[in-house]
């Protein structure tokens, strides 16, 4: 979207939140790789369930924060509003 042009209706994510979302995706891919059975990747680090639970809790909190910054614009040219 260019500055000074009217906005189309839709959901909008601030740039910082977009970067956080990309980081969240990266962490999820890493956890997925680390969670594979040892037979598939014998040289990889083995994480206990409690460690995985902590990681997923942290990632869920990050996702909540990102979702909270999302705004919704219902009409063209108006300032975005928080979704309900």
- What residue spans define the domains of the chain? 10-73
pLDDT at 79 over 70: no
| Span 49-68, average pLDDT | 92
Give pLDDT tens digits for 4-31: 455 678 888 999 999 999 999 999 998 8
**pTM summary value:** 0.67
| Span 31-49, average pLDDT | 75
**pLDDT > 70: percent of the chain:** 77
Residue 72 parent element (H or E): strand 71-73
Three-state DSSP at 36 gives coil
pLDDT in the model for residue 27: 93
């Amino acid at each position: 979207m260019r500055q000074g042009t009217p906005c189309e209706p839709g959901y909008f994510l601030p740039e910082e939140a977009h970067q956080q979302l990309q980081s969240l995706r990266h962490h999820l891919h890493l956890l997925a790789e680390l969670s594979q059975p040892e037979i598939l990747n014998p040289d990889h680090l083995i994480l206990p369930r409690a460690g995985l639970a902590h990681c997923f809790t942290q990632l869920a909190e990050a996702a909540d924060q990102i979702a909270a910054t999302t705004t919704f614009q219902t009409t063209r040219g108006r300032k975005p509003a928080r979704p309900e």
